Structure formats: C-alpha cells, structure tokens
Structure 1
Amino acid sequence: MVGNLFVFMSFQMLIPTLPPYIKSIGASGTEIGLVTALFSIGAVLSRPFIGFMLEYRARKPLVLIGALMLLLITFLYPLSQVVVIFLAFRLLHGLAWGWSTTVNGTAAVDVVPNSRLGEGMGYYGLSITIGMIIAPSLGIFLFQVTSFENLVYISGALGVIALILLGTVQYQTPAEVLKNKKEDLKFTYLGSLVEKSGWFPAFITLMICLGYGAIVTFIVIFAEERGINQIFLFYLLNAIFASLSRPVAGKWFDRKGPRGLVMVTIAITFIGMWVLSFAHSNLTIAVAGVLFGIGFGSLIPTLQSWTISMTPSNRRGVANGMFFSSIDLGIGVSGFVFGVMAQFFSIAVLFQISSLFLIIALILTILEGRRSKEVRQPKEALS
C-alpha cells in the first residue's frame, strides 16, 4: 500500500504541471490537450497486454519493471524542449502507467484473503485515493515555488522510494496462474481489454470519473475565481475523511455486499459536488472536502473490490486493467469535454453538469440490483 502510494504521488504530482510546462516551450492549444489524451491512449493500449501476461507470469518481476519504467520516463521530461518529443514521452508514460497500475492492483488482490477482500482492497485503495487527492496540489505548489526540473527530481525521488518499497514485498501468485503456460493461452486484444464478469462495476467507475474529471481539471481555477485562498482544505479534509471512512466501508462491503454501499457513496459524492459548486468561502470548501472524502474516497476502492470479486482469480489482471482504464478514460475524456464547454459555461455550472454522470451511475446501480434480485428469486424457488 505504501509503495503504491509513492507510485501515485510520483506520477500524479506531474499531471497539473505538464500542461503549463509544454505551453512554455511553445505548444498550441491542441497540443496541450494531447498531453492528457496521449497519456490516456497509452494507458488503455498497454493494459490488455499486461492483463494477458498476468494470466501466466509471477507478480514481483512485473511490479518492479513497471515501477522502473515510470521512474526512467519521469527523468526524460526535462530533456524534451521540442513539443513533439515531449508528447512522445507522454505516450510512453501512459504505456508505463497502464502497466504499473494493472500489475500493482492485481498483486495487492493476490495478497488479500478473499474473505476480507473489501476491507483489504479498501486499505490498498487509500494509496490510490490519497495519491489522486494530495499529489496534484503538491505538484502545483512545487511548480509555483521552484523550477520544473526540480519538480521532476522530487517526483523521481518518490519513484525511487516506491521501487525500494515494492521490492521488499512478499508477493503471492495464485496457483492457477503458475500452472498456466503462455503457449496454452489465446490472446485477443478485446478479450484482454474487457473482463465480461466484472464489466458493470467498471462501467459505473467510468461514469463516476466522467463526473470527477471536471473537479480534477478545474478546482484550482475555480478557487482562484471565487477568491478562495485555502483550497488545500479541500484536499486535506478529503484525504483525512477518506482514510477514516475506508475501514467502515470495507467491512460493509464484506458483510453486506457492494450495491448499497455504492449507492450511498454516490449520493454523498453528488451532494459534495453541488456544495462545491456553491462555494464562496473556505468553510464551504472544507465541507465539500469532507463529503468527497467520505463519498468518493470510499467509492473507488469499493468499485475495484466489486469488479475483482466477480472475476476468476486467473483473470484478475484483465479485470484490474479494465477498472483502471475506466478511471483514466473517464478523467481524460471529462477533462477534454468540459475544457471545451468551459468556453460557454462558468466552472460552477460545469461541476453541476458533470454531477449528472453520478445520477446516471446511481440509477444504473439501482436497476442492476433489481435485476440481480429477480434473477436470484427464480433460482431459489427452483432449489
């Protein structure tokens, strides 16, 4: 968990700082947009291949290769004074990110007992949530007070720590995976991109991140427009309440299943988005941070656990790849679409529009729960 936290911190702190840097070396508006698009494309492209490898390969070498690739590509950025070369590095970074997140998530699942999957992956998911919450604001702060090169060196130092920590873990590879041989398995890109048994929670994840992407992209600009000078309160309280709520959410998942938990956390996140859209003070920002910590902070690991719980052990790599691709696609597409819409709407209105994706996710979860109940009842009657 801690090793993966440093992976996410190292990577996520660069996300909000790469667009202004590439702009400073002469990128056009379209090229700035490609910074996010190429990364998302790279991550989605690589995940089916690594998902297939996870069906027959031991975990530790794949984890360390992914962390090492992320580290090396991070140190390439200051060398790129040509826009095209910079964008090529961004595509490579996306490929490595797709590799690392898929492998790390699968390795974590293999360590956690099935009876405590929700709780265990909830703890592991803290590394993802806290990284996504804290690292962007840390990156922005460092970008403002020091040079881009120093920011990259700090990011790289976190990557080195991640590599060392991940190297100390005692990994477990399922027996079914160790029995498999590459020659006996058939690879198809679509088959390794989508795991049918866990597609529904992955699709809900996509909907959630289509809504959340607007927050990631515009919250700093929104705070500046509203004259809110303590935006760190949103990130800080988000992280604190995500940490506090995670054990409760994990145990709920293990005892009662995912659907009710998903519905409650979607509703809390939705309320948080609307509170944020009306914020004109540090107090309101703080309240929004608390709601996001409880809602979104529990929602993402719950959806990951739900996806994995529906998947055979030998297909967990594919399922994890599908789950993380849903996050990357959701945030990437959202940033681009709402970036275009920002020319016509205020940022507060963008937050409100993006919250509609959470309503869609909530309705679909309710309908899926009713369908599952209807399917179970005839089976129970037959038995």
Structure 2
Amino acid sequence: MEEKVEEKLFNKGFISITLINFVVYLVYYLLMVIIAAVAQDKLHASLSQAGLASGIYIIGTLLARLYFGKTLELYGRKAVMRYGAIFYLATTIAYLYMPNLVILFIVRFLNGFAYGTVSTATNATVTAYIPDSRKGEGINYYGLSTSLAAAIGPFIGMILMNTTSFYFVTMFSIALIFITTIACFAVPVKNLVLSDEHKEMLKDNSISSFIEYKVMFITGIAFLMGLAYSSVLSFLSSYAKVIHLVSASSFFFVVYALVITATRPLSGRIFDNKGENYVMYPSYIFLTLGLLSLSITHSSWMLLVSGGFVGLGYGTFMSNGQAVCLKKVESHRVGIALSTYFIGLDLGLGVGPYVMGELRSLFSFRGLYVVAAIIPIVCAILYAIFYKTSPKSNTKVIEATK
C-alpha cells in the first residue's frame, strides 16, 4: 500500500527538492557555457578538443542515468541523492586543479557522472511529494526549476566570465553545491520499500532493467526536440555576431525564462484537466515558430520574440514530457522511466552541436535555423501517428516510507 501524500502541492518536501534540483542544473549550465572557451584560452585546446570538453560531460551523465535509473530504488533515493551530492561537490572542487587537457577531460567526465546521479535521484524523489491528482501541475512546477536553470545558468556564466575569472566562477559553483549538499542531508527523503518480486526485477541485468520501453517513444521525441534546441544553445552567440545583435542576444534566455515562468502553471493544469495532447502539440508548434523567427530575425525585438516562442516550445515540452512518463508507468518503474527520458533529452543536446555544426558547413545560420525548425514538425507528425494516450496505472505495489 502506498502512503498518501498530502493534497497540498507546495509542501516542504516538494519545495526543497525543487530548489535542490534548480541549483544542480544551474551549475551544470553555468559551467557548460564557458568550459570550451576556458579549454581554449587556458589549456590551448583546439576547437575539436574544446568541443570534447563539453561533450564528454554528457557521456558521464548518460552513464549515470543508465546505471542509477535501474539501481536507484535498490540503493534508496536517500543514499543516491546525498552521496551523489558529495561526489558532485568533490568533482566541482577538482576544477581548481586542471594542469592539462587530460585532467580536464577526466574532471568533466566525473562531474557529468555526478550531475547525472544527483539529478536522477531528485527527479524520482520529488514524485513522492506530488499529490496523484496534481501530477501534471506538480511536474510542471518542478520542471520550471530545470527550465529556469537552463536560462539563468548560461546568463550568469557569461557575465561572470566576462567580469571575473574562471577561478571565481569555480569558487561560486563550489559554494552553491556545498549549500546544496547540506540541503540534501537536511531534507527528509522518502525511499520506496520494494516487494521481493520487484527487488528481483531490479536485480535483473536485461535491457528492460535499464530502459523503460513504455516511454521509449516520448524519449525519441525528446531526443529530436533536444537536437532542435541545441541549435540555439550552440550557435546563438555566433549568429548574433553575424546579424549584429550581440547586446539583445544576452537577453534571449531572460525572455525564455520569463515566458516559461508565466505559462508553466497553466500548462500543468491543462495537462491534468485536458490531457497531454493539449500541451504537447502547442509545444511543437511554438518551437517551430521560435526557430523560424530566428531564421528571419533582423532586429532586437524579433530576436526576443523568438526567445519567447522557444520558451513556450522547448520549455513546455521538457516538463510535460516528464509528466507523460509518470503517466505511463507504475511507481516502482518511475526512476527507470525518468532516467530513460532524460537520456534521450541529454543525448539530443549532446549530439546536437556536432550535427548542427556539420549542417552549418552546408547552410548559412539562417538556413540552419530553417532546417532546425523542421524537426519539431516531424515530432508533431510522429506523435500524431504513433502516440496513444492512456491513463496512469493505478496499481499499488509498493509502499513509501521515510
């Protein structure tokens, strides 16, 4: 029997885990946006080596998601989140010592693994604090922490690197993770008490014990959406220089953040009351509009409008795709399902810069964004053909406890 979670959505556990998740993702994005430049400036890395410094982080993250998506409930959410936070802190401190590229690659890989560990644990842990009747709304509010971090992190990272030094950025990141680690030990985390049957299922080393097949379709869509969005993350700053809108481009992610902050509660309620189709289709449409707007941008206001559309598209999809995963699986498969989903999302963001870079050699920046805008349209078509809506399983097979 599953413990009843209080109907109040904004309970202490929900707020605490959401804030922890925000900082975890903030540091990830903060460092991601500057590490390539640091590798080139301080360690004299080539462009490809600098790209590897960014990409190897994603490899570490994917391995962590694969491993802990399966073993999270066996080890316990509490232990994985708390000791993962300690490892995240240790590997962030390691940025202070990077005498050569080999050490940088090792640090980036381990830091990515630590980030993947903590974020996998928080994604599963927060579900215990969301009332069943408000899953869509709750996940949207929680997902807001990730989306805001994706907007604020790069903004802070660029400002700090332009006004201070990498040493200061590292110390700032260490301070944030240190506070987060303390919070992880202070927050009461609910583990799942598994039946012997489910323990044996989780100990199984078959592919199904690492990957949740029920969410593979939405994971594939997440990969494509991440691929499309990577064109913004990777090339917006370069594109802004070409079209002489550098000043306006620094506020692109601010508009992105403001838009998703304003619309996230509404999209969550629509998900709960109307169903996922009423938020998923608009997300594909808005991302397409945002990328097309970028392709024809010639003024500051158009660039900022495109930021709003991208926020409505990609930002809305991120959290509602997560809510779809919760709707598809039973409680003991939540960790594996969310891990599977974020593997797709992260892989799209990780592979995207290379794919879009190759396309950039064939097209202008404007042409690149037109091509990127086609991807959400493809997602909408695939979704319409293959996705089948279904209510979340009501099977109660495990018990929640502190």
TM-score (norm 1): 0.91
Per-residue deviation, residues 146-205 of structure 1 (Å, max 9, x unmatched)? 111111111112212322333333322334x37678567433263243201111211111
Q: Is contact 1:8-1:128 (8 Å) kept? A: yes
- Secondary structure of 1:332 counterpart: helix
The CA deviation at 1:316 is 0.9
Q: Specify every segment of 5 or more residues in structure 2 that has no aligned partner in the other structure, as ranges.
A: 1-17, 391-402
Report what 2:229 is aligned to: 212
> Does structure 2 conserve the Cα–Cα contact (< 8 Å) formed by 1:3 and 1:161?
no
Instruction: Determine if the alignment matches structure 1 residue 118 to structure 2 residue 136.
Output: yes
- In the alignment, structure 1 segments of 5+ residues that lack a partner are 374-383
1:186 equivalent to 2:186? Answer: no
Kindly indicate whether residue 183 of structure 2 is the aligned counterpart of residue 165 of structure 1: yes
1:310 to 323, 328, 335: 328
The 1:221–1:189 alpha-carbon spacing in structure 2 relative to 1, beyond 3 Å, is: farther
3-state DSSP class of the match of 2:187?
coil
Establish whether residue 98 from structure 1 lines up as the match of residue 120 from structure 2.
Answer: no
| Distance in 2, Cα, partners of 1:288 & 1:203 | 25
**Counterpart secondary structure, 1:344:** coil
Q: Distance in 2 between matches of 1:269 and 1:100?
A: 29
* Deviation per residue, 1:123-166 (Å, 9 max, x gap): 00011101111101211111111111111111112212322333
- State the match for 1:109 in structure 2: 127
Aligned length: 371
Compare 217-226 and 118-127 and name the one that shifted more.
217-226
CA distance 1:84–1:185, shift in 2 (3 Å): same
- Pick one of 277, 287, 291 that aligns with 1:269: 287
In 2, the alpha carbon distance for the partners of 1:108 and 1:303 equals 16
Instruction: Indicate the residue corresponding to 2:30 in structure 1.
Output: 13
Between 15-24 and 230-239, the greater mean CA deviation after superposition? 230-239
- CA distance in structure 2 between the partners assigned to 1:128 and 1:188 by the alignment: 31
Q: CA deviation at 1:368?
A: 2.3
In the alignment, the residues of structure 1 paired with residue 264 and residue 294 of structure 2 have an alpha-carbon distance, to the nearest angstrom, of 22
What is the Cα deviation at residue 116 of structure 1?
Answer: 0.9
Of residues 298, 302, 314 in structure 2, which corresponds to 1:284?
A: 302
Relative distance call for 1:98 and 1:233 in structure 2 (3 A) is: same
* 8 A Cα contact 2:29 2:154, kept in partner: yes
Aligned to 1:360: 378
Deviation at 1:236, TM superposition (A): 1.3
User: Aligned partners of 1:191, 1:325: CA distance in 2, in Å?
Assistant: 15
- Cα deviation code 1:26-46 (max 9, x no counterpart): 222332221233122211122
In the alignment, which residue of structure 1 is the partner of 2:21?
A: 4
Residue in structure 2 matching 1:235, options 235, 253, 273: 253
- Within 1, Cα distance between the matches of 2:299 and 2:205? 52
TM-score (norm 2): 0.87
Checking the alignment, whether the CA contact within 8 Å between 1:106 and 1:316 is kept in structure 2 is yes
Cα distance per residue 1:282-336 (max 9 Å; x no partner): 1112211221222222111000110121011111111111111111100110111
Per-residue Cα deviation, 1:221-274 (whole angstroms, up to 9, x for no partner): 211221111223211111111011111111111112212310111101110111
Corresponding residue for 2:153? 135
| Pair 1:236–1:184, CA change in 2 (3 A) | closer
**Residues of 1 paired with 2:142 and 2:181: CA distance?**
17
Q: Which residue of 2 aligns with 1:195?
A: 212
**Percent of pairs identical after alignment?**
28
Q: CA deviation at 1:343?
A: 2.9
2:79 aligned residue:
61
